[in-house]
């Protein structure tokens, strides 16, 4: 096999809401013993080149990836995409639409928060976020810097809660559309943390997505739990689908550590086999 485990296929850098550079992320993964890694920033491929080079320099294998924001009704569904063509026009258009909406939405949320707290857009959008995909974590970090909350988790529990008065939703495509876009761009689509509280889909919805090209499910993830996870284990076994496990590392932004969940070699091999839009860096 041209790559070596352990493999962690879900990591975020400061190109979205992680706190470290792509190089720093590969460094952190390597320090935890990871030999094959994917960078999966939200709605952007901006970190790929740097991460690939950092992985190569450390003798690691690298899979280019991305975590797409999607929504069905109130459910926020994240679709991990691997090895797709980053220049695919339809996918690019959709990502740009999401990213634009994320900027507008941050502005609106900061306006609302600014009525009750001393916070401005300039506090949130700093040099470090210039071409990054921005999200609520960036508002959280500004609230921490201002001494308003202790850490990101405290911000999410209160000021940034979807049930609170400051929340604004972002534009996101339906997950079925996202799966089709990824498949059409030669990529491998895996549903991220599918048994988390952010949104669980019924089997008939999953069937439809698998028919459209959804290749598998990230069952190893700290936010998965309960009966839905047990159902998905059986669902993946029956359908012979790809099963992954990953950390969802965000640097200092979350407690998740690289390698806390990993993906079996056999499953990594299936992703490498299925991905046709861009080449991995094997080392």
Helix (H, G, I), strand (E, B) or coil at 141: helix
| Contact pick of 248, 254, 272, 274 for Zn ion (by CB under 5 A) | 248
Nearer to Zn ion, 12 or 58 (CB): 12
| Contact pick of 140, 192, 267, 274 for Fe ion (by CB under 5 A) | 192
| Contact pick of 8, 14, 17, 43 for Fe ion (by CB under 5 A) | 17
Residue pair 135/253 in contact by the 8 Å Cβ criterion: no
Q: How many angstroms separate the CA atoms of 55 and 273, rounded?
A: 20
| Contact pick of 253, 259, 277, 280 for ligand AMP (by CB under 6 A) | 253
Residue 94 CB, nearest distance to ligand AMP (Å)?
15
- What is the helix, strand, coil percentage profile of the chain, to 5? 40, 15, 45
Distance, C-alpha 73 to centroid of its chain? 20
Which range of residues in 81-89, 117-125, 135-143, 262-270 is near ligand AMP by CB under 6 A?
135-143
Footprint (CB under 6 A) of ligand AMP, residues 136-155: 136-137, 152-153
Residue pair 272/83 in contact by the 8 Å Cβ criterion: yes
Residue 214 CB, nearest distance to ligand AMP (Å)?
20
Residue 242: exposure state from Cβ atoms within 10 A (0-12, 13-18, ≥19): buried
Footprint (CB under 6 A) of ligand AMP, residues 7-26: 17
> Nearest Cα to 235, choosing from 214, 250, 253, 264?
214
Q: How many angstroms separate the CA atoms of 218 and 231, rounded?
A: 13
Nearer to ligand AMP, 6 or 135 (CB): 135
Q: Which residues bind Zn ion (CB under 5 A)?
A: 67, 248
| Residue ranges binding ligand AMP (CB under 6 A) | 17, 42, 135-137, 152-153, 156, 250, 253-254
């Amino acid at each position: 096999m041209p790559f070596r485990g352990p493999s962690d296929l879900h990591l975020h850098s400061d190109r979205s809401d992680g706190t470290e550079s792509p190089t720093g992320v590969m460094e952190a993964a390597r320090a935890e013993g990871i030999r094959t890694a994917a960078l999966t920033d939200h709605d952007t491929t901006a970190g790929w080149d740097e991460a690939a080079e950092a992985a190569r320099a450390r003798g690691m294998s690298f899979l280019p990836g991305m975590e797409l924001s999607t929504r069905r009704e109130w459910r926020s569904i994240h679709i991990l995409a691997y090895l797709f063509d980053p220049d695919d026009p339809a996918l690019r258009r959709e990502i740009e639409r999401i990213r634009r909406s994320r900027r507008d939405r941050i502005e609106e949320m900061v306006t609302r928060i600014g009525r009750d707290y001393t916070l401005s857009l300039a506090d949130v959008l700093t040099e470090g976020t210039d071409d990054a995909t921005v999200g609520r974590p960036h508002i959280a970090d500004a609230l921490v810097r201002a001494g308003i909350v202790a850490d990101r988790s405290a911000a999410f529990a209160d000021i940034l809660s979807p049930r609170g008065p400051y929340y604004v939703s972002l534009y996101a495509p339906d997950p079925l559309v996202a799966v089709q876009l990824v498949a059409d761009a030669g990529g491998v689509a895996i549903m991220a943390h599918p048994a988390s509280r952010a949104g669980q889909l019924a089997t008939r919805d999953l069937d439809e997505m698998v028919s459209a090209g959804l290749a598998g499910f990230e069952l190893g993830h700290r936010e998965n739990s309960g009966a839905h996870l047990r159902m998905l284990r059986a669902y993946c076994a029956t359908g012979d689908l790809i099963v992954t496990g990953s950390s969802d590392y965000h640097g200092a932004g979350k407690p998740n550590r690289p390698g806390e969940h990993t993906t079996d070699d056999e499953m990594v091999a299936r992703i490498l086999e299925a991905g046709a839009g861009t080449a991995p860096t094997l080392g």
